[in-house]
């Protein structure tokens, strides 16, 4: 979907001879980037939809995926846990949901956590099945597991668009074998060996799949990707998380940082995770991650209009990156509404950051993300 504004000039005529306005010619309209990723992380959807949750567009009940498709979303990101405590984010659930998504024409972006639960900068625990695996055994485990995952998707008839090897791997993954930074800053070679095995398995499965290595934030990103370069790690996309509450309130600084990454590493960048509130209120009794005005970017209010303006501004930052290397944006948990009811203490901690309001109606930012 083209998101560039088409401009046209008018000329006046008088009598039989044209009169040309004394204005300079308009600059050429940039070629649209047809590969731009307009993404949503819908990893909660199987659980939310199984609970009978209804979604709406203009107050009319509609299928969640059809709403997203109609808005212009082209890519869905899904997290995969190795052996989760319940069925959610398991390989079976993710494959089955991916089949539904693929049938509706979405590209599938697989986010492999290489853990049984959440992996992020503060948590990168090995799967329990690999608890005692180290060295060559751990290296083989990541390769064989990733190969198996790729094979199962292929057997299910799903062509993956992007595969992340690790989630928010600021300090590496599969701790402590693959831990980096701080007292582990001499451990980059070990992390790289493990990372390469996951990346190798993906490309051996299908060389057309784009691989991503994911870092949370912009501060420290150049240090991280430079160390990967020193270890000759080969991957396709730089993936960045950007949440103003944690990663800074300046979109200018974000743009400058991404420009520097592109200049140094010559790789496209995707904002792999972001969100912004449409309200500071709440819709269940689960403590929210964000609820204070000092957590906002001052120019973007916690309102549907402010959320939409933030989305447009972030897309603008990506669009202005050189050589069309800003490859896209993915909103995290846009459907994680308060689906367990208004008094649930184990519901959603981010229902004010979704792209659906407290009546589960699609918000303007969803339209902007899908149509920009």
At 291, which CATH number? 3.20.20.80
Kindly state whether residue 260 falls inside one of the protein's structural domains.
Answer: yes
Per-residue pLDDT of the chain (372 residues; tens, 9 = 90+): 433 333 333 333 344 444 444 444 444 444 445 689 999 999 999 999 999 999 999 999 999 999 999 999 999 999 999 999 999 999 999 999 999 999 999 999 999 999 999 999 999 999 999 999 999 999 999 999 999 999 999 999 999 999 999 999 999 999 999 999 999 999 999 999 999 999 999 999 999 999 999 999 999 999 999 999 999 999 999 999 999 999 999 999 999 999 999 999 999 999 999 999 999 999 999 999 999 999 999 999 999 999 999 999 999 999 999 989 999 999 999 999 999 999 999 999 999 999 999 999 999 999 999 987
- Say what the pTM is: 0.91
For the stretch 306-345, what's the b/e string if a residue is b when 16 or more beta carbons lie within 10 angstroms of its beta carbon? bbbbbbeebbebbeebeebbbbbbbbbbbbbbbbbeeeee
Specify whether the CB–CB gap between 58 and 353 falls below 8 A.
no
Kindly state whether residue 13 falls inside one of the protein's structural domains.
Answer: no
Kindly state whether residue 26 falls inside one of the protein's structural domains.
Answer: no
Structure confidence at residue 262 (pLDDT): 98
CA–CA separation, 354 and 147 (whole Å): 34
Kindly state whether residue 172 falls inside one of the protein's structural domains.
Answer: yes
Structure confidence at residue 372 (pLDDT): 74
Structure confidence at residue 33 (pLDDT): 56
**Backbone φ and ψ of 257, nearest 5°:** -65, -40
Kindly state whether residue 196 falls inside one of the protein's structural domains.
Answer: yes
Q: What are the catalytic residues?
A: 168, 273
Q: Which single residue is written with the structure tokens 């582990």?
A: 184
Q: Which single residue is written with the structure tokens 């329990």?
A: 128
Kindly state whether residue 27 falls inside one of the protein's structural domains.
Answer: no
Q: What's the structural domain count of the chain?
A: 1
Structure confidence at residue 17 (pLDDT): 43
Give which of 127, 160, 158, 123 is closest to 145, Cα–Cα.
127
Kindly state whether residue 4 falls inside one of the protein's structural domains.
Answer: no
Kindly state whether residue 177 falls inside one of the protein's structural domains.
Answer: yes
Those residues whose C-beta lies under 8 Å from the C-beta of residue 27, and which sit 6 or more positions away, are: none
Q: Which residues span the domain enclosing 94?
A: 37-371
**C-alpha pair distances (Å), 154 with each of 36, 205, 206, 298, 337:** 24, 8, 9, 46, 32
């Amino acid at each position: 979907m083209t998101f560039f504004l088409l401009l046209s000039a008018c000329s006046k005529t008088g009598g039989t001879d044209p009169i040309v306005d004394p204005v300079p010619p308009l600059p050429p309209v940039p070629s649209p980037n047809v590969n731009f990723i307009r993404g949503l992380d819908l990893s909660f959807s199987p659980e939310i939809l199984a609970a009978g949750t209804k979604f709406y567009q203009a107050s009319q009940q509609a299928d969640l995926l059809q709403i997203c498709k109609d808005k212009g979303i082209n890519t869905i990101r899904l997290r995969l846990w190795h052996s989760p405590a319940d069925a959610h984010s398991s390989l079976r659930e993710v494959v089955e949901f991916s089949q539904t998504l693929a049938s509706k024409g979405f590209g599938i972006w697989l986010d492999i956590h290489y853990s049984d639960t959440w992996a992020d900068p503060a948590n990168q625990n090995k799967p329990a099945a690999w608890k005692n695996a180290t060295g060559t055994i751990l290296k083989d485990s990541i390769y064989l597991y990733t190969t198996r995952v790729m094979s199962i998707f292929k057997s299910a008839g799903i062509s993956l668009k992007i595969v992340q090897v690790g989630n928010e791997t600021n300090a590496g993954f599969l701790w402590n074998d693959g831990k980096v930074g701080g007292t582990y800053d001499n451990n980059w070679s070990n992390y790289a060996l493990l990372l390469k095995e996951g990346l190798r398995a993906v490309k051996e499965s299908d060389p057309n799949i784009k691989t991503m290595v994911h870092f949370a934030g912009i501060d420290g990103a150049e240090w991280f990707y430079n160390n990967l370069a020193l270890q000759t790690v080969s991957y396709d996309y730089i993936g960045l998380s950007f949440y103003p509450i944690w990663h800074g309130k300046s979109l200018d600084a974000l743009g400058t940082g991404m420009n520097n990454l592109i200049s140094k590493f010559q790789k496209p960048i995707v904002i792999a995770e972001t969100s912004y509130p449409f309200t500071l209120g709440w819709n269940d009794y689960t403590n929210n991650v964000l609820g204070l005005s000092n957590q906002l970017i001052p120019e973007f209010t916690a309102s549907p209009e402010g959320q939409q303006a933030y989305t447009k501004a972030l897309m603008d930052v990506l669009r202005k990156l050189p050589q069309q290397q800003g490859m896209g944006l993915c909103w995290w948990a846009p459907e994680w509404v308060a689906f367990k009811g208004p008094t649930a203490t184990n519901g959603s901690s981010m229902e004010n950051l979704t792209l659906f309001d407290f009546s589960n109606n699609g918000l303007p930012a969803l339209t902007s993300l899908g149509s920009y």
